[in-house]
Amino acid sequence: MEQEVQQKKRVEFDLDQFSGDKRATMALMYEETLKRFVEGSLIPGKIIEIRGTDVLIDIGYKSEGLVSSEEFGDMAGVKLGDEVEVLLEQIEDEEGKVVISKVKAEQKRMWDNVLSHCEEGSIIEGDIKSRVKGGLIVDISGVKAFLPGSQIDVAPVRNVDDLLNKKFEFKVMKINRDRRNIVLSRRELIEQRRRDKRKQLLADIKIGQVRSGLFKNITDFGAFIDLGGLDGLLHITDMSWGRVSHPSKILKIGDNVEVMILNIDYEKERVSLGLKQKQANPWDNIDVKFPVGTKVHGKVVNLVPYGAFVEIEEGVEGLVHISEISWVQRVAKASDVLAIGQEVDAVVLNINKADQKISLGIRQTTENPWDTVRDRYPVGMRVKGVVRNFTSYGAFVELEEGIDGMIHVSDMSWTRKVNHPSEMLKKGDPVDVSIIEVDPQNQRISLGLKQAQEDPWSTIAQRYKVGQLVKGKISKLAAFGAFVELEEGIDGLVHISQISDQHVEKVRDVLKPGQEVEARVIKIDPIERRIGLSIKAASMPEEEFVVKDDMLTGLKPGEDLVDLASAFDEAFGLAENQDWRPGEKGGRRRDKERGKERGKEKEEEE
């Protein structure tokens, strides 16, 4: 606007030298000139002279303009009289000369041509010409546009140089007319076309259809199949009716594969695919093909702590639980006896068609040794075995491979109360035992250690008499008295009232374990397995010794004087375990007996 005002002032100054009609005519001519010659406009001109490196062009203004020969490129084809289009940069510079440019005229013409059919959001073609910081330069009909590096493709481009001098389509993201700047995106165009293609594909596909796709990506849980613009997930569990350790075992990237449409999520644009669904499900007639009791042959395909999975045909696996591997072998883990890839024979035990589960047994392919165990080990038979293991309530003895019997602690000694089997036995020891009970159904054999030996209490009355002086060592102390070991396994009880003529407050103040003492026998009961002793009666002359009622204090009928461990269990609050196997006939009886014994010992202590 300011340039127009200045131009009008110059025109008025020039018209001052004219008058009358001539002035009016010149004013009209100047008015037309003002309309034609506007800075920034394209003006036609004619070459009137070539001056070395400059070309003089007449644009019909009061003065000509000079253009550098470099703007013409090859001057060989340039001659006087040629018409050219130039851009009027300045009507007058500081020297009063008009400033024009042929190159800028060409650039403006191309820019105007591009803008005539290009707007933000439109699609155009262009050639990628060069690399610049942050992206690429694209030539669009002679106009340079910028393609940011993030907008080249949907995936990172490893080598951008591979794109140079190639033609692509782009989406116009932004146009700055003042700065003549255009920003393009190829990524947006690709994504938009993919979105359109996905929507069309989602409208076409149906559940149950079989479609062809390209295997394009793989993960541990499955594979992604390109259905032609829409990726579907083929999960590893839908690749085969059989076991698939990894998708790469079934497919390779680049493979063309036919898959079935299993599910479509239109909102999230997700499709689930299946490969195995193109084939019949082997579980459909499984109960007909493999009825219960059928002997099958298969291969171990997986091992878990609780068993082994055996494939009996493609897509059909059965579980052999560790309890069904062997009749006699103790299997802690399936991997201890089986290996992946190993071929085995098994028997079908159960079929759950709904859950697609089959229970198999390997041991059922051989005879169960427990079926004939009664014939080999009749009750009362004395046998040899090896101590294999301990529990708190007994010891397991191996009679033959896989056949164990159990010695309960109550069946270990005629004379001792055994709290733990380690008091009598060691692991690996050979032992002679007697068969007490055989239960093939529950696979149990009860053994007796003491039953294989003579009961020392059966002849106790022959070795000890009431009034007899005996010597022994203090074996254990209790609040109610002390136990004296007379011979191995035979203890007598000295009640606290029979320790001394003086009042004894605490047994441990007078007697110590291991101390040798002399005592007189005051009571013998072979049936109840007890011997009562009196230390203070030992000093009494034999002819004066008479068993009086006060000597038998604490030795009431029914008291088990040799049950040493129970007394100490009561004193220290130790709990005793139940019998070795729930439901064993002898176990309930022994538990009941132990309960009675504890009651007696508590009564004695009081």
Query: What does the block give as tokens for 549?
Result: 């009622």
| pLDDT value, residue 16 | 54
User: What pLDDT, in 10s, does the model give residues 252-300?
Assistant: 888 888 888 889 888 888 889 988 888 878 888 888 889 999 999 999 9
| Domain 286-362 homologous superfamily, CATH | Nucleic acid-binding proteins (2.40.50.140)
| In the predicted structure, residue 558 carries a pLDDT above the cut 70 | no
**Do 369-452 and 456-562 agree at the fold level?**
yes
Amino acid letter for position 262: L
CATH no. of 369-452: 2.40.50.140
Which DSSP letter does residue 153 get? -
Query: What does the block give as tokens for 336?
Result: 């201890």
Residues 173 and 188: their CA atoms lie apart, in Å, by: 9
Q: Which span out of 151-155, 349-353, 488-492, 588-592 was modeled with the highest average pLDDT? A: 349-353
Cβ atoms of 393 and 580 within 8 Å: the answer is: yes
HEC profile of 350-364:
EEECCCCEEEEECHH
What is the rounded average pLDDT for all residues in the chain? 80
Hey, how many other C-beta atoms are within 10 angstroms of the C-beta on 50? 15
Q: CATH second-level architecture of 118-190?
A: Beta Barrel (2.40)
Q: What is the mean pLDDT of residues 470-493?
A: 89
| pLDDT value, residue 60 | 80
HEC profile of 462-530:
HHCCCCCEEEEEEEEEECCEEEEEEECCEEEEEEHHHCCCCCCCCHHHCCCCCCEEEEEEEEEECCCCE
| In the predicted structure, residue 154 carries a pLDDT above the cut 90 | no
3-state helix, strand, coil in the chain (%, to 5): 30, 35, 35
Could you tell me the fold of the domain covering 2-108?
OB fold (Dihydrolipoamide Acetyltransferase, E2P) (2.40.50)
| In the predicted structure, residue 6 carries a pLDDT above the cut 80 | no
When mean pLDDT is compared across 13-27, 440-454, 538-552, the lowest value belongs to: 13-27
Q: What is the mean pLDDT of residues 329-348?
A: 91
In 3-state terms, what secondary structure has residue 247?
Answer: helix
Query: What does the block give as tokens for 417?
Result: 């109360």
CATH assignment of 205-278, given 3.40.50.300, 3.20.20.70, 1.10.10.10, 2.40.50.140?
Answer: 2.40.50.140
Query: What does the block give as tokens for 555?
Result: 């030795």
Cβ atoms of 286 and 351 within 8 Å: the answer is: yes
| Domain 456-562 homologous superfamily, CATH | Nucleic acid-binding proteins (2.40.50.140)
- Burial of residue 207 (CB within 10 Å: 0-12, 13-18, 19+) is exposed
| In the predicted structure, residue 581 carries a pLDDT above the cut 60 | no
Residues 57 and 79: their CA atoms lie apart, in Å, by: 12
| pLDDT value, residue 571 | 41
Domain ranges of the chain: 2-108, 118-190, 205-278, 286-362, 369-452, 456-562
What share of the chain has pLDDT > 90, as a percent?
Answer: 24
| pLDDT value, residue 95 | 76
Q: How far is CA 431 from CA 157, 395, 488, in A?
A: 80, 11, 19
Question: Can you give the length of the chain in residues?
Answer: 606
Residues 223 and 242: their CA atoms lie apart, in Å, by: 17
When mean pLDDT is compared across 59-63, 163-167, 439-443, the lowest value belongs to: 59-63
Q: What is the mean pLDDT of residues 234-242?
A: 83
